[in-house]
Amino acid sequence: MNIAVSGRIDTRTAPELEEVVRSLDEITDLTFDFKDVQYISSAGLRVILIAQKTMNKQGSMTIRNVSSEIMEIFEVTGLSDLLNIK
């Protein structure tokens, strides 16, 4: 399943993404396309971690097209070591 995310992933938008993530029962391959993501807050990082934890049990997850700004957030928080980022 491919999920294209755009704009800001923050306290306003993260709950909507979390709803999608929590409905991934039968999915074995998940890809997030971050090409149009401009910002991610701790609320957004939490949703990405929920998705990764879910996919660790049932398949694989990849995050693609990460900007240098978002990659820096992943690196500072240590998530770049936990996530498959291409």
- At 27-52, the pLDDT tens digits run 999 999 999 999 999 999 999 999 99
If you average pLDDT over residues 54-70, what whole number do you get?
Answer: 96
Q: Give the residue carrying structure tokens 């049990």.
A: 57
Mean confidence (pLDDT) of the chain: 96
3-state secondary structure of 34: strand
Evaluate whether residue 47 is within a structural domain: yes
pTM, entire model = 0.93
Element (H, E) at 5: strand 2-9
- Identify the residue with better confidence: 25 or 8: 8
List the CATH number of the domain containing 43.
Answer: 3.30.750.24
Domain count, the chain: 1
What is the pLDDT averaged over residues 41-66?
A: 97
Give the residue ranges of DSSP H helices in the chain.
14-21, 42-58, 68-77
Quick one: CA torsion of 74, 70, 26, 1, rounded to 10 degrees?
-140
Indicate if the pLDDT at residue 5 is higher than 90: yes
24 in any annotated domain: yes
pLDDT score, position 24: 86
> What are the Cα distances from residue 55, in Å, to 27, 39, 85?
8, 23, 14
What residue numbers bound the domain in which 67 lies? 2-81
